Structures are given as structure tokens and as C-alpha cells.
Amino acid sequence: MCLTCGCGEANEHHHTHEGDAHHHHHDDHAHTKTVTLEQKVLAENDTYAQNNRAWLAERGIVAINLISAPGSGKTLLLEKTLEALNGKIKCAVITGDQQTDRDAQRLAGKGAKVHQIETISSCHLDAHQIAHTLPEVCEDGTKLLFIENVGNMVCPTAFDLGESFKIALLSTPEGEDKPIKYPVLFATAKTIVLTKMDLAAALEWDLPACRQYVQQVQPGAYTFELSAKTGAGMDAWLDYLKRLIQ
């Protein structure tokens, strides 16, 4: 259940009262309770997030929270990034999905410690889950921690994990206008990575329009345009990561 988007129990409550003559009264009550619970959940999350941030800072670890829609290429970008940094920068990965450890399997054997979190019913990672995972996944000498959030452009943005900053991904098959449709993510991300650029021509995807939408929600936004598949644009991305830890 996500208290940010209101999916889960709050909606179920509504459905159980359908047809009830007094359901408006019940809905108002449920809404008040949901808002109060949401504030409590976010406050608890923030406490864990602050502790995580302090834990990471003590060890000099830069933590990046990767957020995007499912299928935009977070895991492939991480695969290629870990391969390139193997033996040069010690990395760790926490990867979140509702179910399966498929991403952890894809990311294994590339020189980084990888831990999969299965969120089951939840549409985002939270700081409590990260707190439990940090000591195991961040071995001595770790410089970069990648947190691959659950594929979702809305809810993960609301939950501070204690990361250094967020990076938003947007793949060309998703269209040019996601930044203005989901502005919270694209306004709060420190960096925006446009992925699957190798498909842009075939999709007649409009790069200037996408750049304009990005700038509209975050003037001066720092963006990369790359294809993890072909390697185009990867050098600039990797240079950026190297500079982060210097």
C-alpha cells in the first residue's frame, strides 16, 4: 500500500462503502485518517532517511537514487556502468522491484555488491528498507551506491531514502512530454538521463522538444543523452560519475 498515491487500503475502504447512503460521511472520515497516516509515514521515513544520509556521509559514499518508469533502462544503464567502473571505482547496488531478483541477477558478477529488495505490494522503496540493507551492501571502500528504485514516476519521488541526490531516466519510447506530465520527478532530479537514444530516429522522437520540456520544469537541468546498448554517450556519463567521488 502506498499512502502517497492513495492506492491500497484507502481505496478499498471506499469500495466497501459503495451503495451506503452515508458513504460521503465515511469517505471524509477516511480521507482525514489517510492524510494523518500519510504524514506519520513520511515523518518516520524522513527519520530513517536522515540516519541513512549520515551513515553514508561518514563513509564518504555518494548514493544515487535512480527513478523512472518501468522499462526505461535503469538496469541496462547500471549493467554497462558497473562493467565500465569494475576495478576502478568500488560500487554497490540496491535494486527494488515488487517481485523477483531478476535485476540483481543481471547486475551480479560485475565487481559490485548487489542486493535486491522485493517490495511486494509497494510501488516505491522506503528509507527503512534501505537502512536495513546499507551495512550489508556497502563493503569497506565503497564509493558509489546506486539505488535502482521500483519502476514508477510518482511515488518513489515522495520518499527520501537518504540518497545524495536523485537521477531521473526517460527513454525515447515513452515520448517527449513525460517531463511536463510528471514534473515533480523531473524538477527534483539533480540529473536527467535520456536513454535508448539509438531508437530516437525510428520512433521519430523529437529531441529538441524533449529538451524544451525538461528545461520547462527545471531550467538549467543537467542532462545526458545516451544509449547504454550502443555505448553512445556513455563516456560523458562515466566521466560525470568519476567526478562525483573526487
Q: Give all strands of the β-sheet with 91-97 in edge-to-edge order.
A: 113-118, 91-97, 144-148, 62-67, 165-171, 191-195, 222-225
| Segment interacting with Mg ion (CB under 5 A) among 75-83, 115-123, 174-182, 188-196 | 75-83
| Segment interacting with Mg ion (CB under 5 A) among 31-39, 69-77, 180-188, 206-214 | 69-77
Q: Which is nearer to Mg ion, 52 or 152 (CB)?
A: 152
By beta-carbon distance, which residue lies closest to Mg ion? 75
Q: Which of 52, 65, 68, 75 binds Mg ion (CB under 5 A)?
A: 75
Which residue stretches of the chain are H helix? 9-16, 23-58, 74-85, 102-107, 127-137, 155-158, 178-181, 183-188, 200-203, 207-217, 234-244
| Segment interacting with Mg ion (CB under 5 A) among 49-57, 72-80, 197-205, 226-234 | 72-80
Is residue 156 near Mg ion by the rule CB under 5 A?
no
Q: Which is nearer to Mg ion, 66 or 217 (CB)?
A: 66
| Segment interacting with Mg ion (CB under 5 A) among 21-29, 67-75, 119-127, 169-177 | 67-75
Provide the 10 A C-beta neighbour count for residue 65. Answer: 26
Contact 95, 148 (CB under 8 A): yes
| Segment interacting with Mg ion (CB under 5 A) among 8-16, 99-107, 179-187, 215-223 | 99-107
**Which residue is it, cell 506530465?**
181
Contact 142, 90 (CB under 8 A): yes
Q: Which of 103, 126, 163, 225 binds Mg ion (CB under 5 A)?
A: 103
Q: Which is nearer to Mg ion, 32 or 105 (CB)?
A: 105
Least distance (Å) from Mg ion to the CB of residue 91?
16
**Burial of residue 43, with CB atoms counted within 10 A of its CB: 0-12 exposed, 13-18 middle, 19 or more buried:** exposed
| Residue of 89, 72, 73 whose CA lies nearest to 241 | 89
Q: Which is nearer to Mg ion, 75 or 133 (CB)?
A: 75
Q: Give me the amino acid identity at 30.
A: A
| Residue of 194, 244, 199, 246 whose CA lies nearest to 63 | 244
Least distance (Å) from Mg ion to the CB of residue 148?
6
Which positions touch Mg ion (CB under 5 A)?
74-75, 103
